[in-house]
Amino acid sequence: MTHVLAVVRLIVTDIVALLLALLVTGCTVGAKYIKPTVATTPTYKEEAPFNQLDQWQPAQPGDQASRGNWWEIFGDSELNKLEEQIEGSNQTLKVAEARFREARAAIRFTRASQFPTISTAPSASYVRSSDFSPNFPSKVEEFGKGDFVLPFDLSYELDLWGRVRRSVAAAREEAQATAADYETAKLSLQAELAMDYFELHSADAQKQLLDNTVRAYTDNLQLTLNRFKGGVAPKADVAQAQTQLDTTRVQDTDVTVQRAQFEHAIAILIGKPPAEFSLATALLNYQPPGTPIGLPSELLQRRPDIAAAERRVAEANQQIGIARAAYFPTVSLGAAAGFESTHIDLLEGPNAFWAVGPGLAETLFDAGRRRATSESARANYDATVATYRQTSLTAFQEVEDNVAALRILENETQQQQEAVASSQESLQLFTNRYKGGVDTYLQVITAQTIELANERNAIDILRRRLDASVLLIKALGGGWDVSNLPQF
């Protein structure tokens, strides 16, 4: 038995020495990855309208502290509770998380190629040759014999040209890209929930306004009826007042359809059937918060979708190296060792056998297959670079769009408040003139229509400002930073 162990140790020592010698002399073919440049500017075209405020600070490159729950800047406890349910309940997000786990497992699968594969296939058989076998003269062997084998086979590809290392790196970069995809999906769902939440409560505000308007128009209808009965107003005034009231009631009812749809959408986002979820009525009683936007160059570090695109550029670069390695011979090491005997007592020195040696494989002619693979890899690299740059440009556009929207809507809010005030004054004047018999009821209806439209538009502008704030935070990456990418 001591002799057997000595033989096994000698075999293992020789194999390890050969592996180390070959690995030291190995190299990696293909170009080293250099992060592509992206056209950017030192400042944004638009100025952030609330840069003096600091309720929310975006993560800086290299900052390990996650900014986390960006939605808390709106100061709405109900919104906070809803947002916190997305990560554990949303099914779309679970799909993205499963894709990340799949990509992470692919790293381990690919990394296994860096180590030898050892297998065994023990067998035991009893063989008796026929007396009339062409291999033996008749009656030479009257009895059969046993054959007991305990083999161990080792196979290992020597990564001389870096194919395996690049494959591992490509899998690692794809996993990082998938992790960024998960963060992109989460940010998008969080932003969608916040916008649906604001849309729903905007509908609540519209409903309250229309309820109040219906009550006011009901009083106006009663006024015209009284004037008609007193012979002061014509029947046409009653018909106009009734029409105005009925039209507004229709609008009041229609708002509830929108509210129901947004409530159902929120239920799905937090992973609940619509029948099991409801939100109490509430009004939009807050203003858009300030959102500092930082520098354009920092945006490349903040957006998970940009990070995902950049990681796939790195992955595509590895694929070029893998395609390049196919032009070089594949060197593999094979080894076999074990015991074989005609008797069951295998573990004896004389029963041991072993063999070790390298093997080389090289494609001499493939009708251009490797060249086509290499060209395909380079074309894919060019495509991923273009995708990365386009994703970055789109991010700049989204920031500019929403900063501009916030700036313009802030001015529009002031103008709309003035329009509401003037329309209310106009309605009051025409109502008083109608009561005094100076104007017809048509003037009152016209003033009512204008006043209602202005008040509804004021609510809608506030909703758009809140939506633009959410979209700006999303465009800035929420609180995410490239330093949050997992390392493998």
- How do residues 416-451 score in pLDDT, each as one tens digit? 999 999 999 999 999 999 988 888 899 999 999 999
Q: What is the pTM of this model?
A: 0.84
Per CATH, which fold does 30-115+162-328+369-484 belong to?
Answer: Outer membrane efflux proteins (OEP) (1.20.1600)
Q: Tell me what pLDDT residue 352 has.
A: 79
Picking from 483, 403, 444, the residue whose alpha carbon sits closest to that of residue 45 is 403
Q: Tell me what pLDDT residue 340 has.
A: 75
Distance between CA atoms of residues 475 and 48, nearest Å: 13
What mean pLDDT, rounded, does the chain reach? Answer: 86
Q: Tell me what pLDDT residue 53 has.
A: 37
Distance between CA atoms of residues 392 and 297, nearest Å: 10
Q: Tell me what pLDDT residue 392 has.
A: 95
> Would you place residue 304 in the very low, low, confident or very high pLDDT band (cuts 50, 70, 90)?
very high
Is-contact 318 170, C-beta < 8 A?
Answer: yes
Q: In this model, does residue 12 exceed pLDDT 90?
A: no
Angle, helices 304-325 vs 369-435, to 10°: value is 170
Quick one: tokens of 397?
A: 């556009």
Q: Tell me what pLDDT residue 14 has.
A: 54
Q: In this model, does residue 62 exceed pLDDT 80?
A: no
Q: Tell me what pLDDT residue 29 has.
A: 81
Picking from 392, 228, 381, the residue whose alpha carbon sits closest to that of residue 318 is 381
Most distant CA atoms of the chain, gap in Å: 139
Residue ranges per domain, the chain? 30-115+162-328+369-484
Is-contact 53 289, C-beta < 8 A?
Answer: yes
Mean pLDDT for 16-45 is 73
Picking from 308, 310, 327, 342, the residue whose alpha carbon sits closest to that of residue 373 is 327
Q: In this model, does residue 30 exceed pLDDT 90?
A: no
Mean pLDDT for 90-108 is 95
Residue that the structure tokens 């992206």 belong to: 38
